[in-house]
Chain A
């Protein structure tokens, strides 16, 4: 997560984190076979590759991602066998924003 993705005032995730553009899916990592430390290590590695600061992580239950037509689909990669995507976003921006509000409300932010 980046500084634009959470509210320092109450340590909550912002909906901007859950906007899918320029893709029609959101990338995430499942805890299925990973510890918190392993998930954070992936985040730190990604932040390092992007030359960004990692501010924390946002956790959301998979069942909470089933908003409207959304579904969580596993998509393992060589670097991250627990990688998954949230798919099924509407192409309409107001719909995307409404879904992003729901996902942000269901997420829990954990600062570094």
Chain B
């Protein structure tokens, strides 16, 4: 959070307000805010990097999966919201874009770079799979936009 002030004039106040707004925008955007997602990713991995991390025989999340997930986040275009990170018992990491329980996209990433996804838009359910070659498939980008109401 920016706390510095530049003076007491109306102009200084305007500049401060504008700067605060822009900082808030960029923290939410992909370009400057990705570190938050990377931190969440690596912190979360510590909880699931060993077999049976869930107590029900879950597979360990492999380093390759973390790396693939890192590059997936890195490949998010400018203006796309960041996901939250999770893990599934088969050792895949998940990235979730969530508006509410019935307006949601979940993408699973395997150590080989396979992407498995499912989305709910009210009563409509979508699912599929694709491969991550360094660029996020257009189908998934469209689903992210749908979940988050991005129209551009």
Contacts and interface: CB of A to CB of B under 8 A. Distances in A.
A10 B38 CA distance: 22
Contact of A16 (B94, B101, B126, B128): B94
Interface string B94-119: 10101001101010100000001111
Contacts of A14: 86, 96
Contacts of B104: 15, 101, 105
A75 interface: no
B127 A95 contact: yes
Contacts of A3: 47
Interface in A1-57: 2-4, 7, 12, 14-16, 19, 21-22, 27, 46, 50-52
Contacts of B117: 94, 97
Contacts of B120: 98, 101-102, 105
A64 interface: no
Mostly helix, strand, loop or mixed at chain B's interface?
strand
Interface residues of B, number: 33
Contact of B86 (A16, A21, A105): A16
Interface stretch (B17-25, B29-37, B55-63): B55-63
B143 interface: no
Given A4-B47, A7-B98, A19-B90, A94 B129 contact: yes
B48 interface: yes
Contact of A22 (B84, B86, B90): B90
Contacts of B58: 21-22
Interface of A: 2-4, 7, 12, 14-16, 19, 21-22, 27, 46, 50-52, 93-95, 97-98, 100-102, 104-105
